[in-house]
Structure 1
């Protein structure tokens, strides 16, 4: 059986900024009990470069999950693109790191309500760190893309911009909305010797389509 990645012909990078449009929550698993200054739940952080600079991050696996959840009911099965139990996918979603200069966050305090007294239940005060504004840089990489896959991803990105795809927790209470801007496409083709040639880099789908169908 031949591997569907055996012939490495094209690679497409889709880069864009996801801007938090209201509160988003990506829970960190780091314990905070020993530091009374920190909220009970903090926003996930990660190292974005080799200099170990730390910033807020949305895991690529989370972004991949919401895209697949949106695309498959409307577009049909995408196992060949996203992968399955016995098949490696052709698409990768990078971790999206925040530009700290753009981030505005706050801590929300919540408590459980006693159903009998309708007052606050003792000992249930909880605090959650959330980001209300901030730019997150995202990159999607597709190996040997099909044009219909590119168009499906474009529709999914538009759905995120319209609030139909949301990120993180508390989505039922209106959290997780993102606005999308600065979308760029970079299409690279490879020869049998894996020498690369950039066919297109820019913002326009019409030009990308011409480069995509260009004969080598």
Structure 2
């Protein structure tokens, strides 16, 4: 009896393994067939799955064009996601600023509401950071810029200013215009800012980042 039970258990185990393998093989064939079917879509239909690009998880890294007098005070990382887009689509430019210990800089989109006794603004707009775009045919930066929330700091003898004392980010959508030509586009811009400790230094830091424009049909705006 024990021998028969053991033989039955072995047979059941073998049958389970076989059916699991067969199911896995059939699933793989089904998935392959589905993938093939999707790839046979209409390349002229902008909404067809065959024309969908990779999601925004991938990013193209930007590059700084030259050294700056601010290099000892702050670092930047620049990227654009996705690195490839169709005409009529948007990619997101992200700029990460990292002030060195003891240094701070100023926001791009906000300033303190504090006023001097005379009623003028404590934080002059001229002291805010700026992104200055160069001529970029086929690419259009869109407002607004999204920014990490700055912190209010009471600067002795000046008043309350909004500042970035730690890591921060700016992000902005870049539209690929319908008339853009396919191929690699170079988005060129400068960051103009001042970085301070007991003294302030102002400079422009130029950057470039590549964005690949697909030859797929343009998306309607």
Q: What's the TM-score bracket when you normalise by the shorter of the two chains? A: 0.3 to 0.5
State the TM-score, normalizing by the size of structure 2: 0.36
Structure number having the greater strand percentage: 2
Greater Cα radius of gyration, structure 1 or 2: 2
When normalised by structure 1's length, the TM-score is 0.37
Q: Which has the higher contact order (CA 8 A, sep 6+)?
A: 1
